[in-house]
Chain A
Amino acid sequence: MNEITNVFRRLNREGKKALIPYVTGGDPSIEKTYEFMEFLARNGADIIEVGIPFSDPMADGPVIQRASERALKAGTAVKDIFALVRRFNKAFTIPVVLMGYLNPIYAYGVERFVSEAADNGVKGLIIVDMPPEEAGEICPLLRKYGIASIFLATPVTNRDRILKIKKIARGFLYFVSVTGVTGERDEIPTDILEKIKEIKGLISLPVTLGFGISHPRIVEEFFPYLDGFVVGSALVRRWEHSFSVDDPELKNFFQEMVIACHGS
């Protein structure tokens, strides 16, 4: 049983939702990212998503693009991300999932990547530019090494595709709130509720909501319908103010998100 599943089971029993913060690995350095992850882990994160920086992040908005650029400028490579996860796992039991684009993984060697990810305690993997159609090589490897293959669904994903994704998705399903790139939005259109209900009716995996989660209000709005919330750009934007976990705005925001997901 993957640790990710355990997290959702426990939260479900407690009537809470998973809070999944996103950080870009190496932004602005691996050491700083570790401090950030430590802060998130100590203050209520349930799962941490670590981004593997890529030079051409086509599905990301400006905030994550900047984070990626900073991480690459610092020379961050896949092996550094693995070392970061290993170090984190020595101190915390919170599952870490990696998110990235295919080329750096391909360049590393797909099986080498998956096996070393497992060795270093990575629990799940999201590859932004790899739809189920192209997942034939990596999914059996992820199963072999016990890493959850996390896939995305969107407001335009139809029933047939949901069923296709269901066959290979593990851990949780990442529902993208809007058609678009990562980034904060003032509002999430509530017409996605129909789609979320459709997905929940077809898939037994936990479903999380991501892209545009800028405010605890959005969590409150969608709380009853989902199992967790991914917060990326809203957090990274506050992080880039000073790259300090003592930043009051960062602390307050994260605290509010924890309350929204877990209750006070």
Chain B
Amino acid sequence: MRKGYYGKFGGVFVPETLMPSIYELEEAFFRWWRSRDFRKEFEGYLKDYVGRPTPLYHASNLSVRCGLTLYLKREDLCHTGAHKIINALGQALLAKKMGKRRVIAETGAGQHGVAVATAAALLGLECCIYMGADDVERQKMNVIRMDMLGAEVRGVETGTRTLKDAINEALRDWVTNVRTTHYILGTVFGPYPYPQMVKEFVSVIGREAARQIWKKEKRLPDVVVACVGGGSNAMGIFYPFLKRKEVTLVGVEAGGKGISTGHHAARFQGGKVGIFQGTKSYVLQDSNGQILDTYSIAPGLDYASVGPEHSFLMESQRVTYTSATDEETLEAFFLTSREEGIIPALESSHALAYVIKNCTRWKDKLVLVNLSGRGDKDVETVSRTISP
């Protein structure tokens, strides 16, 4: 396999100005990732600052209701409310090692932005977060949090005013300030080495979950389910199970208002292979190769492309990708809140929606869901759907 590729997917599709930094990052990541001291520092933060290992919780009420055994990997209990802090801390530590004094990031739901602002505050880095203007509206609370953490939030008014436009602006900033700035990309996406590096950081989720479920159930789960936006929480929990073929892996994309309406963000339902924002992967695009506007109630899934390794796992059929609509997602959101007393993020609710929808298929089976984030940020959005 070519370096930086997962089958035919991946690569490094960036302007020439960024190439030296891409190499610098690759070299730094592999050097420090092998360093015992770096690992110790990183794992120290994960334990005492993030609060890892996160619990694996047997959701008994939902289990009874669905007729299966459901475990939730409680990433919602991470400091800042989602798994995003893992990658943010890993890359911020790396930025320090590379001698960069400033970090930038894109954010959709605001979770990655908050995570980066947090890591930057902790490690004393200057921080600037790009966020689509529409997302600034949708996720006000996270904007306020970033501001309180000392980060500058720049609303992006261009294009569709969502995550992809925030990435464009972050890339423009990086091209401009490449000598002093590290770009903390928030998912297993973009040019190599990002997909690989982010995967290595977040794979702690799956390693913990495998160990925990083994301890509780003395066996591997029958199915592992995660939502897929860029795909970091899914990659994190899937990674240790990829080689165990007896474990079914399911990725759930944003079905929005339904695939047939065109208002969705399900790349594997309506996309085709293309090159976008640094990598070759499945992309929602028109016949002229222009990137399509996407839609989801969950801003963290509202993106036109997907991590290249997910495309590889889809084509090699190791992972099954499906989608859940907004409606199904909201149902799962309320059910989990009321049955378990856990308000899940709308992103993670997509994974729960899959389980609820398919409970007959997984009857009496052992099901593991990555509850990638908590839903505090979504309460406004959700309350608008009940009382418009």
Complex interface: stretch among B62-70, B137-145, B171-179, B318-326: B171-179
Q: Are B175 and A131 in contact (CB under 8 A)?
A: no
When C-beta atoms are compared, the residue in chain B nearest to A211 turns out to be B17
Complex interface: stretch among B38-46, B109-117, B221-229, B281-289: B281-289
Residues 46-103 of A contacting B (Cβ, < 8 Å) = 54-59, 61-62, 65, 72, 77-78, 102-103
Q: Are A151 and B16 in contact (CB under 8 A)?
A: yes
When C-beta atoms are compared, the residue in chain A nearest to B160 turns out to be A55
Q: Are A156 and B13 in contact (CB under 8 A)?
A: no
Q: Are B291 and A55 in contact (CB under 8 A)?
A: yes
Q: Are B276 and A131 in contact (CB under 8 A)?
A: no
Known: A104-B290, A106-B275. A156 touches B15 (CB 8 A): no
Q: Are B175 and A105 in contact (CB under 8 A)?
A: no
Q: Once the chains are docked, how many angstroms separate the CA of A180 from the CA of B165?
A: 17
Contacting residues, chain B, for A153 (C-beta < 8 A): 16
The majority secondary structure among interface residues of chain B is mixed
In the complex, whether B164 has a CB less than 8 A from a CB of chain A is: yes
Q: Are B19 and A58 in contact (CB under 8 A)?
A: no
Contacting residues, chain B, for A59 (C-beta < 8 A): 15, 17, 171-172, 175
Contacting residues, chain A, for B171 (C-beta < 8 A): 58-59
In the complex, whether B168 has a CB less than 8 A from a CB of chain A is: yes
When C-beta atoms are compared, the residue in chain B nearest to A57 turns out to be B168
Q: Are B159 and A55 in contact (CB under 8 A)?
A: yes
Q: Are B17 and A156 in contact (CB under 8 A)?
A: yes
Known: A59-B15, A131-B14, A152-B15. A179 touches B285 (CB 8 A): no
A185 to chain B, nearest CB (A): 11
Q: Are A161 and B19 in contact (CB under 8 A)?
A: yes
In the complex, whether A129 has a CB less than 8 A from a CB of chain B is: yes
23 A-B pairs whose Cβ atoms sit less than 8 Å apart in the complex: A56-B159, A56-B164, A58-B167, A58-B168, A58-B171, A59-B172, A78-B288, A102-B275, A103-B283, A103-B291, A106-B274, A107-B285, A107-B289, A131-B14, A133-B12, A133-B19, A154-B17, A156-B17, A156-B178, A161-B16, A161-B19, A180-B172, A180-B175
